[in-house]
Each structure stands twice: as structure tokens, then as C-alpha cells.
Structure 1
Amino acid sequence: MSSLPAGWYKDPADTTTQRYWDGEGWLGEAIPADAVPPAGPPPVEAEPPVAPPPVVAPQPQPYATPPSPPPGQPVYGPPPGWHQPPPPGWQQPPPGWHQPPPPHGWQQPPPPHGWQQPPPPQGGWQQPPPAWAYPQPPHAYVMPVPQARPHGMLLAGLGQRLAARLIDIAVVLLLNIVINGWFVYQWWQEFRPIYTHYVDQVMAGVEPDVLEPTGRMQTLQMTVIVIATLLWLLYEAPMTSSRGQTLGKMLMGIKVVGVDSTEPIGFRRGFSRWAQLGMWTLFWWCLVGLVIQFLDCLSPTFDPRLRQAWHDKAASTVVVAVPRGATQTVEAAPRGDIPGGPQ
């Protein structure tokens, strides 16, 4: 069963039309791709009334008892307690009714000339099961699951997202060089005598002392990490909240939108999206933050349907491609434009 929810999507069999997908297959007639679909599934067309078949008196015929299958062979038949339903219009014959005898002189017609009884099937043949034993498909034909298009737009490619993230990292790194550079220089001035003494001991063949940071080094280190976290927050969260694009996303032609609307997601959701990834910067000192951020950046590959990263799921957002000059040609229905429905 497909995980794509019900809604209106482009028909993979004819991309110039759109049809309603109910989660398992296509329903209803196709409509043009640029038409506004109804808010829900297409109406079910009433079938024309079928004239009842003429009433025909049943003519019971003698049936031969089928031969029993060989031992060990499976026996196919209706389930226990099943009875053949009577045809429409059939009535129970009155008591005492008997099959009328054939006309005088009637004989069984002979078989065609040269006809012979067909030989029995070879060993290993089995009686096929009746038609009711095969499951019936719920739809007339099976089509591939359509690709999710939030709000009628294509999902951003993984390469585009990676390139945009690398550009944003470079921008934040430049900001840290400008603002955090003094603190990093002070930390190096504090660490250089310790490092020089350690190298001298190694060159002299003496067992070196353990490198232990001073209290001022630890304070400077935490200051650098906190400032780096704040710079990342001030760079990414406001831009994502107001326009859905950082500098990297603008250059790569992608955008962050909510799964429920194309309106700006607002600062609350923008901060929630950034915090799922950026707050782990405070744990760089123990390397746990770097590992979790690395896995978060890889998480879109775990969601082949919407390519949502963990920070996208936290804010109910998706990243879509908005190349320059592109226009949206299909206005989706309330559920059709949001795979999964409103969050």
C-alpha cells in the first residue's frame, strides 16, 4: 500500500491531466492539469439502471458426480456451508413437480465424426481453483505512485540542499573570523606556552607533561562556542522565518515552506527548525554535537517521500525548488497540495 495520502496529482500516464489519488489507486475521470480540482474526491457517477433479465423457468439437468481426486492431491471447492445462489427471478417449483420426459423418439445426438474422448491429464496436474478464490483488484488498473509535489512545486534535490548548506557554513565562518577572531587569538596566546613546553620535552626525550587547559582557556573556549552559536542563529533563523531562504538557498534556487501553506513560516517555526540543528553547536566540546549535526544533514536521504530532514520534521516544513523564472501551473486542492494532510 502506498504511503502517499489522498489528493489530486498529475496523472503519470498523461502529465497534461490530473486525477484523484485515494491512497491506493486513481479514481474518477482525468481533468486538465491547469484546472482547479474540487476539494475532495470526484463525484461517483450513478450507473444506469439495468433491466432485469427475463424470467426463465429452470430446467434441472442431471449432473454426473465428478471423480474423486487421487490421494494426496488438494481438493478445490467452495468454502464449507456455501450454497449456489438462485438466479434472479427464480421461484421454487411446486411440490410434486417432476422433469417432463423427452419427446417420443428423441435420442441423444451422436458426437461429431472422428471425435474421441480427450485423454486424462498427466500426473501432477491439479484442478485450478474457482474464480472466487482469486483476489480482485480494488481499481480498474494499477499505476505507479506519483511523486509528491508540495503546493504544486518540485522537491529540492539533495545536491542542491548540500550545496546551499556549504555556502551558509562558509558565510557563518566568515562572520566568526570577524567577530570571534579576537577570542580565538587570546586562546592561542594562552595555549602557546603550554604547547611549546610540551614540544621541548618531546624533543629532549623526556616524558612530556599532560596537556591540561587552564581556567582562562576553558572560559575562552566556551565563549567562542556560544558566540558561534548566536551568529548562526542570527544569520539563519530570521531569513528562513521571513522569506524561507538563506543566502545559500537563494543561490541554489530552493526555499523552505510549510507543509500547510506557502506563507512565511514565522519566527517560532523558523527558530524551531534552526534549533533542531544549530543548538547542538553548544556540545562541540565533547564532539557529540558534531556527530548529531552530521546525521541531521544526512537525514533527508532517510525520507524518500518528502526528503524532510529532522529539523524539517520538527517545524513541519519542506524544501522545494523554485528556479528563477518558474511559475506554478497547477493549483492543488486543499489536501492534494499537502502530502500527509495539515500538520
Structure 2
Amino acid sequence: MTVQPGWYTDPAEPNTQRYWDGGGWIGAPLPADATPPPGPPPAEPEPPTSPAPGTPATDAPGSPGGTGTTTTATPTARPTSGLPGVPGSPVQPGPPGAPPVNGVPPWPGAVGPPSPGQGGPVPPAWGYPPSVFPVFQEPRPHGKALAPLGARLAARLIDIGAVLLLNVLVNGWFVWRYVEEIGPVYREIVRRSVAGNSSTEGLPPVSAQADWLLLVILVIAAALWFAYEVPSVANTGQTFGKRVLRLKVVSLGTDEKLGFGRSARRWNTLGLPTFFWYCCGLGFLLQLVDCAFVLFDRPLRQALHDKRAQTVVVRLDRSVDTPSPPPTADRGDTPGGPTS
């Protein structure tokens, strides 16, 4: 059993109606508010065809072999539109026994809910229309694509290496003094471990100077990181690592410079936990959670420090910043032609 023939709204032209003969649309469309005839539409007049070259269109009386009748070509079948809502698609009748939806026979193999105004469910091969299941589109802040996670990680590693180099130059002496202070304790612990002794009694005491040295090291490390990252992000939105990877920190609200205040707020969430490294590495754990938040945040892929400052990291288009070469003089050479 097929869909009953009759007049239905044409999904390709909602303001018209056409006749469905059980296998496809036939006849000329009528206005949607017009009263259609009770049966199929009358046959459309066949368009005149031009005769082939050298063949007379009519046999004129008196001509050799002329009979006075008009010669016409065999009429071709009028193409019909198939998939509702898709003009010019091949004819695909609805499944047996399926009633019309919104006045239009459904598509074959239809699954899922009907799309409003489309006349029926959507076939699996075409996917669901945006009106039923909107296709997710990644946001583009200020017209720029979000930075890939791999590029962000690479840029952060470059920045860590740069800050580490600064610490070697500025903080190196304090680190060496700290190692000298705690060296006897660790050497005794290692000696006992090799001997199979896990006792902690009788270990050399750690001097109070070691605690002060550790605090000074952390303060200098945080200060160097702050001086490296905050001013550059405030002015250009880029650290050295982000410049190498062509990434940029931008504000969600405006495309202007972040400014020192917003850049400092962004760094504080990630940089201040450095002082908690003093507490058995607690600061490193907080920083790890902050940076790993981009793996789960959608749709802007913001880390916690990005959310605090209302910023997002985007990727710069190479075609925007790369200057185009100056145009060469036109010598009138044609494409593919010889050159002088």
C-alpha cells in the first residue's frame, strides 16, 4: 500500500500545491489557497520542438512527399522532484502505508522526528536538519579560531623553559645554597635506604636557613614569571611561546588590549599557587588542575585563569599577518604562453 494520490503542499514551494500520484509529483503547481480539481491535473501542453537541422518542420502541400501535416518530436517525460524540500532530487516515494506528514508524503527510510515545515522525517543519508538537531559550530571570538590544545601546550612548555632559564641566571645562587643546606639530610637518607634501614631517627637536622632559602627561591621564581608574562600579555596578548606558535590571548568582550589589570588577574590564578610549592607540592597540583581544565571546558576551552579574567586563547591566521609580495609589472604574458 502506498500513499494515496492527492493534492499536497509542495515542500520546495510552500506557497504552492501539487498533485502526488503515489510515485512522484506531477502537473503544474497551483497556489496553496486555490481549490484544486477533484482528480489529477490536466496534462500540460507539450512544448514545441525545433526540427533537426536539414529536416523541414512541416510538410508543405505541394512539396515532394508533402502531406500538409506537422511533424513533432516524441515528448519527453516531465521530471519530477523527489525528496520533499530538496528541489531537483530524484523521485523516491514514501514507504508503504505511511500517511502524509504536514500534507506531504514522508521520505523513504525516514527516521527521527519530522522537521517543521519540511514535510516529513529526514532520511539517514542526509542527516538531521538544523531545525531538529542544530549542528554544533565552534565559536570564533572576534572572528578567530580557538587555539588547538596541542599548540597551547607547546606554547606553555616554551614559556616554562624561558622562565626556567631566567631562574638559572637570577636564582641559581640561592638554589645552590639551598642544596648545600639540605644535602647532608638527603645523603644520610639515601645511605640508610641502600643499607635497608628505614629509620628516621638520628637524621641531621635541617637548619632554619634552608627554610628561608626555599621561601626566597619561590618568591624570586614567582616574580620572574610575573615579569615575563604579565606585561607582554597586557600589551600584545602574547608571550614568547604564544608568539612562536601564533596564538593570542584576547578578551571575550572587546578586541582591544587586555591591559595590565586583566593580565595580572589572569596570571594570579595560575602563578600565585607557586608559593604553595612549599607545602609538599600543593601549588603544583593546583596549577595542574587549572591548566587541565581546558580539556573539559566547552565551548571556549578556557582554563581556570582564563575564566577568572574573561579571556580566551585564539589562533592567528597566517594570511592576515603575512604581508603579500608586491605585484609584479604586467608584461602582457598570457597564461601558459612563452616568456621573454
Task: Give the TM-score category using the shorter length.
Answer: 0.5 to 0.7
Three-state SS of the structure 2 residue aligned to 1:283 is helix
193, 211, 224: which is aligned to 2:217? 224
Is 1:154 aligned with 2:145?
Answer: yes
Tell whether the 8 Å contact from 1:191 to 1:213 is kept in structure 2 after alignment: yes
Aligned to 2:66: none
Deviation at residue 251 of structure 1 after TM alignment: 0.3
Any gaps of 5 or more consecutive residues in structure 2?
1-30, 36-98, 103-111, 119-128, 323-340
Could you say if the C-alpha distance between residues 260 and 202 of structure 1 is closer, same or farther in structure 2, counting changes exceeding 3 Å? closer
Tell whether the 8 Å contact from 1:168 to 1:247 is kept in structure 2 after alignment: yes
Aligned to 2:171: 180
Deviation at residue 237 of structure 1 after TM alignment: 0.7
C-alpha offsets along residues 246-302 of structure 1, whole Å, 9 cap, x if unaligned?
000000011000011111110110000011111110101222111111111111111
Could you say if the C-alpha distance between residues 291 and 51 of structure 1 is closer, same or farther in structure 2, counting changes exceeding 3 Å? closer
Aligned to 1:96: none
C-alpha offsets along residues 133-161 of structure 1, whole Å, 9 cap, x if unaligned?
x9875676425132211111111100000
Aligned to 1:47: none
Is 1:164 aligned with 2:184?
Answer: no
Aligned pairs (5 A) from 1:51-66: none
Aligned to 1:289: 283
Aligned to 2:314: 320
Aligned to 1:269: 262
Deviation at residue 52 of structure 1 after TM alignment: 8.4
Three-state SS of the structure 1 residue aligned to 2:318 is coil
Could you say if the C-alpha distance between residues 203 and 304 of structure 1 is closer, same or farther in structure 2, counting changes exceeding 3 Å? closer
Tell whether the 8 Å contact from 1:254 to 1:323 is kept in structure 2 after alignment: no
Measured in 2, the distance between the counterparts of 1:250 and 1:163 equals 11
Measured in 2, the distance between the counterparts of 1:264 and 1:314 equals 17
Matched letter for residue 296 of structure 2 = F
Is 1:238 aligned with 2:210?
Answer: no
Aligned to 2:253: 260
Matched letter for residue 298 of structure 1 = A
Three-state SS of the structure 2 residue aligned to 1:325 is helix
Identity rate of aligned residues, in percent?
Answer: 42
Deviation at residue 51 of structure 1 after TM alignment: 11
Counting matched residue pairs gives 207
Could you say if the C-alpha distance between residues 264 and 138 of structure 1 is closer, same or farther in structure 2, counting changes exceeding 3 Å? farther
Is 1:279 aligned with 2:272?
Answer: yes
Tell whether the 8 Å contact from 2:237 to 2:250 is kept in structure 1 after alignment: yes
Three-state SS of the structure 2 residue aligned to 1:326 is helix
| Backbone CA RMSD of aligned residues | 3.2
Aligned to 1:18: none
Aligned to 2:208: 215
Measured in 1, the distance between the counterparts of 2:230 and 2:222 equals 12
Which is bigger in relative contact order (C-alpha 8 A, separation at least 6)?
1
